[in-house]
Amino acid sequence: MQPVVILGAAQTRHAARRPEASYAELAFEVVADVLARTGVGHDRIDTVITASSDFWDGRTISDMSVQDAVGAAGKSASKVSMDGAFALVYGAARIASGAYRTCLVVAHGKASEGMPRAIASAAFDPIYERPLGPDDRVALGLQARRFLDLRGLGEEVLAEAAAQAWTAAASNPNAERREARTAVQVSSDALVADPLRGSQLAPDSDGACAILLADEQTAAQVAAASGREGGSTTVRLEGFGLSTDMHGLGDRDLGTAGVLPRAARSAYEQAGIHEPGRELDVAETYDASSAQTLLWREGLGLPPTGGPAWNPSGGAMGAQPGFATGLVRVAEVFERLARGEGRTGVAHGMTGFVGQAHCVWVLRRR
């Protein structure tokens, strides 16, 4: 298999609403940005993988809503209707196979144009659950309650996790939430789905993310052409894991990290990581609630305190641009490593209710 190098990443300034931008314009922002950052021309892109949702975009074959923006026409293009971290698996496999030298992976989400709760409700089982009218926040509340009960924890742990996320997001220029909050402020917010308060839920955001992958030889050529030293500071994808749990909320124990440890184990094994708490320098997770911030940390095999820089971007609690959310985690880890802030990092994406499917990536700077 060919090693897979990340040439560059780009993301939008995520926001609650971007009414002036079409779906395509939102995606084009990050495509233009990643091409400019890497100095790679459109004609050098071999293949394109996008992540989008028909329900979120309000049209079937939703990859067509961004086809022009990502330059898919005339190329081998395909779509993943899951979080962008999963689309990266498809893209990386194309490079690893040796069949393609460069692959552009693009994910977008525009929550403001639809009704996020109603769209989430449509993902429940149509026979046994959907007629009752649940939505994603019901699932998040049930998970958070079970998480606390299973461990005998009080609601203050959720407030502390949320305050940490808000504070981290405040210094992330791309986050939608840009205001530091204390645990006391977070605790005084109104309950949305007990025990979760509004500030303990990830926001619904508009945004996009693009990641450009290449094989080693191409990465060295691109680096040489840009005047940088030939591939001396490349960041590679060195391990990944995927795992899917049962769909029904009553079929799994929501108080645990579910199948995340399985995905993490696979990613760590491939990357030769034995002690993630010591060997990783940065971790970014798709946490849709403060309970998930704590759960996914545990699921990734990290200690409750110490260990790698934890969600330094604020995680998904800072911005949740639909299917771009997991790909943004990869972009955040990439940027840190490329800047020289650490050598190895883990990025996590998820799809489905409260962590039904997890995707874990290990990135390493060489």
Partner 1 sequence: MDIPDVEPVAVEGRIRIPYRWPAGKAGGRFLAALRDESRLLGQRCPKCARVAVPPRPRCLSCGAVADEWVPVGPEGELVSWTVARGGPAPVAWGLVRLDGADTGVLHRLLDVAPEALKSGMRMRAVLDGRRTGQITDIAGFAPAGGATCNR
Kindly list the residues in this chain that would bind partner 1 in the complex (CB under 8 A): 19-20, 58, 113, 117, 124, 126-129, 131-132, 134-135, 137-138, 141-146, 149, 190-196, 246, 248-251, 254-255
Closest CB 248 distance from partner 1, rounded Å: 7
Q: Nearest approach, Cβ of 201 to partner 1 (angstroms)?
A: 11
Helices and strands counted in the chain (H then E) = 13, 12
276 vs 322 by CB, closer to partner 1: 322
Q: Nearest to residue 159, comparing CAs of 293, 324, 19?
A: 293
Q: What is the DSSP letter of 14?
A: -
| Nearest distance, CB of residue 318 and partner 1, angstroms | 22
Amino acid at 55: F
- Shortest approach of partner 1 to residue 279 CB, angstroms? 34
- Measuring CA to CA, how many Å separate 300 from each of 31, 192, 240? 30, 27, 12
Q: Which is nearer to partner 1, 111 or 346 (CB)?
A: 111
Q: How many angstroms from the chain centroid is the CA of residue 312? A: 14
Can you tell me the distance from the alpha carbon of 45 to that of 8, in angstroms, rounded to the nearest whole number? 13
Residue whose CB is less far from partner 1, 251 or 275 = 251
Whichever of 21 and 77 has its CB closer to partner 1, that residue is: 21
Q: Which lies closer to partner 1 via its Cβ, residue 255 or residue 315? A: 255
- Which residues 6+ apart lie within 8 Å of 127 measured at CB? none
Strand 309-310 relative to strand 282-284: parallel, antiparallel, unpaired?
Answer: parallel
Radius of gyration of the chain (CA): 19
How many CB atoms are closer than 10 A to CB 122?
10
Q: Are 158 and 137 in contact (CB under 8 A)?
A: no
Closer to partner 1 by CB, 20 or 43: give it: 20
Q: Based on CB atoms, which residue is closest to partner 1, 292 or 344?
A: 292
Question: CA triplet 89, 17, 327: central angle to 5 degrees?
Answer: 10
CB of 360 to partner 1, least distance (A): 23
What's the closest the beta carbon of residue 253 comes to partner 1, in angstroms? 9
- Count CB atoms within 10 A of the CB of residue 128: 10
Q: Which is nearer to partner 1, 55 or 231 (CB)?
A: 55
- DSSP classification of residue 126: T
Q: Residue ranges of the alpha helices (H) in 74-210?
A: 84-96, 116-121, 136-151, 156-170, 183-187
CA 350 to chain centre: 7
